[in-house]
Structure 1
Amino acid sequence: MLAWLETTGIAALWVVAIARAPQGLRDRSQRPLWLAIVMIALAMSIHLEPVTAALGHLVPDEHWIDLTKHLFSIIDAAAVLWFIFGAADRHRHTALVFCTAATVMSALVLLDLGAPGHARNQITGSAATPGVPLAYWWLFFVFHLVADTTCGVVCWRYGRQDTPRLLRLGLRLFGTGTLLASLLWVLKLVYLHTRSTAVCLWFSPVTGVEAWFMAIGAALPVVIQLRAHRRYRRTYRRLAPLWHDLTAASPDVVLTPDNRLWEAAMPLQLRLYRRVIEIRDAMIVLRNYVTPAALEAVHRHVAEQTVPEHLVNAHVTACWLTAALDARRNGRPPHSQTVNLAGPAANDLTDEIEHLLRVADAYRSPSLRTYKAALSAAAP
């Protein structure tokens, strides 16, 4: 009845794996988790009945299909554990993980080859049906139980560290998914002991819920990336009017010629960084066109307006930039500037952007329109 949970959960994992592929391939720090998602989605997919049936058309002996799936799932569990350790900067466990996996795989092959002739590697309903020995299943299930539980614990512990809130939540959801996988192996151990068909009914829904938790947890970094992209886009557009006027007056500060194709190929964050640099360089050029009298008039004008205290500096900057643009446009010569007009010192790019955004908002404010009207009225 809940079989759809498994199918949709695995499909969601594949969607997330594809969505994260560009970042996973490009960013070395993101690659381990992305590879883990791909391996989990692949391992879950090959256990679906349609996939097993398709493999049956390619390989006539179903016994070898079963054994290959089991061996691949061991590789998958070891790889995921390795990827999670790598994401948590615990690379020292690599040798232990893969040596243990190789030992388990070798033991499974030996147990399979030593068993009486059997058509499938499945838990048989009765002792009369030939199959692999119980040791095969105990070893197989316990390895997965330990690997998945370890993954879940590492994700939860790593998720408590000083990481962004959404990323922390993503790690915990992904870790919950791997702990649900541990529940699946516990259920299979119970079935191995009891052979109760009631236990089998839980295999598919638990797998589906596990897949959904992993998919949602792995998708949250994509959400963070989309939110950051939207924030960069909004900032880039808010700076556009100020940037356009300043670079039109000082075209030499533009780092590269206006080329829409080249600009579209450049990452948005890099374009925003370039725009900040060009605005700052233009401000350095234009400040030499501000006379002491003009600067004094700017301070008087801002003091007369109802400008909040924390925005006074931004409005002063927007006004003296307007005065400088007007002076340059009217052909007045530059002169050496002794007053510091750079604004408050910025600790990093984020502070710099916040300051320029306040200036850009002030540049479009009613206060500045009043100042422009006063400049026009005072023009000879």
Structure 2
Amino acid sequence: MRLFDIVVVPPLWLFALWKLPHLKSASRRDRVLWTMWMLWAVLFTIGVPAVRTVLDAAVGMEGFAKLPVHMLGLCAMTAFVEFIREATGARRNSKAWLRWVLLGLAEAGLVTAFFASPLPEGDADLVTRTDLPQMQVYWAIFLAYIGHGVVRKIHLCWRYGRQASPGPSRTSMNLLGLASCFGLLYVVHRLVYLVAAVAGATSTAGFFATSQTLLACTLVLFLASMAYPSLAGAAKRHRLRKDRRVLRPLWELLTAVTPEVVLPLPEVLSRDHEFVRYRYVIEIRDAALAVSGHVRPEQEARVQEELTGTGLAGSALDAASEAALVLFAVESERAGAAPSAAEHPLLREGPDIDAEMAWMRRVAAAMSTPAVEAAVGRLR
């Protein structure tokens, strides 16, 4: 197999087969997308030299396999434009049926031009015979349809990509727009070759390698644009599960002595990692406030001074100090000691949930350090 086939064909089949089990319950948008991937998987499989040779031999016409490849390519382009319209919520109009008429005419034009061409002698590939007027018409139809589809994709990505919210959706649209630009370069490159052939040029040096490189870049970027939201979602779920595991010991420590801050959680929400992380942050903050009456201002100053003496400074000092104060407050509450000060925040508040989560992770990590354990011991 060629390098192009190794890079392109297996990912296409893997992506199409990965989506297949969920196709029955999928939305129309996802079904259209799956249709496009399956069409591409089939047409690029047919384009593999070994497969193409078998198909040509079965039909008895050298170069015949290029015809179904290009016909499926037009169908895949139509499906992809339809997917982008569904994904961006583009307005439908009463002339939408013309797209299918245009596809039918383009397919009929390819078939007519192909079979109207005289068969070359020997093993020459019919579709590469751009010196034939029929093949010039063939390529003109194919490139015009693909070029029209690519330009529409670029327009839709540019128009709606700017409106997408920052994050995976916008990144996906940007990758899709970049893939469409490579697709346009592929069309222009093919068109230049066709015009040169009509003008009488016969050299093909580097043409096929450049064409395959542009097509491979287009498809790899298409794959990346489609897979990125799923991969980003999986990475986010992994990060949320990790945050949940990190926060749970601190949450259990504080809520064990302040069970009143714990709200009942329905079973369905307990599986929502983002909601559970949010709950942990809120309840840790509330529980720390509830036990803060055991910490007097002079004790806070003492802990700061002792931990500064260990070489800590800056945010590391602040995290260690808060860890020591929380541990001391929990021990005092567990021992039944009466509060000796007014309630006040023991934990730094952040501008958003992510900032608070990051800070609580640092406080939780500092609790097991020797310096913090020693500071708590001296407060007892």
Scaled by the length of structure 2, the TM-score of the pair is 0.68
1:17 aligns with 2:15: yes
8 A Cα contact 2:240 2:274, kept in partner:
yes
Q: In structure 1, what is the Cα distance between the partners aligned to 2:244 and 2:194?
A: 56
1:83 aligns with 2:83: yes
8 A Cα contact 1:149 1:179, kept in partner:
yes
Query: Which residue number corresponds to residue 203 of structure 1?
Result: 208
1:109 aligns with 2:111: no
Count of paired positions: 361
Cα deviation per residue 1:10-38 (whole Å; 9 max; x = unaligned)?
A: 1364277369859x979989958777555
Q: In structure 1, what is the Cα distance between the partners aligned to 2:128 and 2:110?
A: 16
Q: In structure 1, what is the Cα distance between the partners aligned to 2:90 and 2:213?
A: 30
Cα deviation per residue 1:35-57 (whole Å; 9 max; x = unaligned)?
A: 75555444433333334355568
Give the counterpart of 1:323 among 318, 323, 328: 328
Query: What SS class does the counterpart of residue 198 from structure 1 fall into?
Result: coil
Query: What SS class does the counterpart of residue 320 from structure 1 fall into?
Result: helix
1:50 aligns with 2:58: no
State the AA in 2 paired with 1:239: L
Percent of residue pairs bearing the same amino acid type: 20
Quick one: structure 1 residues 46 and 335, their matched pair in 2 at CA, closer, same or farther if it must change by over 3 Å?
Answer: farther
State the AA in 2 paired with 1:103: L
Quick one: structure 1 residues 160 and 86, their matched pair in 2 at CA, closer, same or farther if it must change by over 3 Å?
Answer: same
Quick one: structure 1 residues 194 and 108, their matched pair in 2 at CA, closer, same or farther if it must change by over 3 Å?
Answer: farther
* Structure with more relative contact order (C-alpha pairs < 8 Å, separation 6 or more): 1
Within a 5 Å distance, the mapping from 1:162-311 to structure 2 comes to: 163=166, 170-171=175-176, 173-187=178-192, 189-190=194-195, 193=198, 198-199=203-204, 202-203=207-208, 205-216=210-221, 218-219=223-224, 221=228, 224=232, 228=236, 231-232=239-240, 235-246=243-254, 249=257, 253=262, 266=271, 270-271=272-273, 273-278=275-280, 280-285=282-287, 287-292=289-294, 294-304=295-305, 305-306=307-308, 308=313, 310=315
Scaled by the length of structure 1, the TM-score of the pair is 0.68
Measured after TM superposition, the shift of residue 326 of structure 1 is 0.8
Quick one: structure 1 residues 91 and 157, their matched pair in 2 at CA, closer, same or farther if it must change by over 3 Å?
Answer: closer
8 A Cα contact 2:293 2:340, kept in partner:
no
Q: What are the ranges of 5 or more consecutive residues in structure 1 without an aligned counterpart?
A: none
Quick one: structure 1 residues 190 and 364, their matched pair in 2 at CA, closer, same or farther if it must change by over 3 Å?
Answer: farther
Measured after TM superposition, the shift of residue 324 of structure 1 is 3.0
Quick one: structure 1 residues 159 and 271, their matched pair in 2 at CA, closer, same or farther if it must change by over 3 Å?
Answer: closer
State the AA in 2 paired with 1:320: L
Cα deviation per residue 1:119-147 (whole Å; 9 max; x = unaligned)?
A: 799447498x9x95754442222111232
8 A Cα contact 2:74 2:146, kept in partner:
yes
Q: In structure 2, what is the Cα distance between the partners aligned to 1:141 and 1:42?
A: 20
8 A Cα contact 1:156 1:175, kept in partner:
no
Bigger Cα displacement from structure 2, 366-375 vs 235-244 = 235-244
8 A Cα contact 2:289 2:344, kept in partner:
no
Bigger Cα displacement from structure 2, 333-342 vs 197-206 = 333-342
Bigger Cα displacement from structure 2, 320-329 vs 341-350 = 341-350
8 A Cα contact 2:40 2:76, kept in partner:
yes
Q: In structure 2, what is the Cα distance between the partners aligned to 1:225 and 1:19?
A: 20
Within a 5 Å distance, the mapping from 1:84-163 to structure 2 comes to: 84-87=84-87, 89=88, 91-92=90-91, 99-106=98-105, 108-109=107-108, 112=111, 116=116, 122-123=126-127, 125=129, 134-152=136-154, 155=157, 163=166
State the AA in 1 paired with 2:98: C
State the AA in 2 paired with 1:17: F
Quick one: structure 1 residues 16 and 112, their matched pair in 2 at CA, closer, same or farther if it must change by over 3 Å?
Answer: closer
Q: In structure 1, what is the Cα distance between the partners aligned to 2:138 and 2:97?
A: 19
State the AA in 1 paired with 2:5: T
Q: In structure 1, what is the Cα distance between the partners aligned to 2:345 and 2:152?
A: 57
State the AA in 1 paired with 2:253: D
Cα deviation per residue 1:247-275 (whole Å; 9 max; x = unaligned)?
A: 55567848679x9xx99x95xxx335414
8 A Cα contact 1:159 1:171, kept in partner:
no
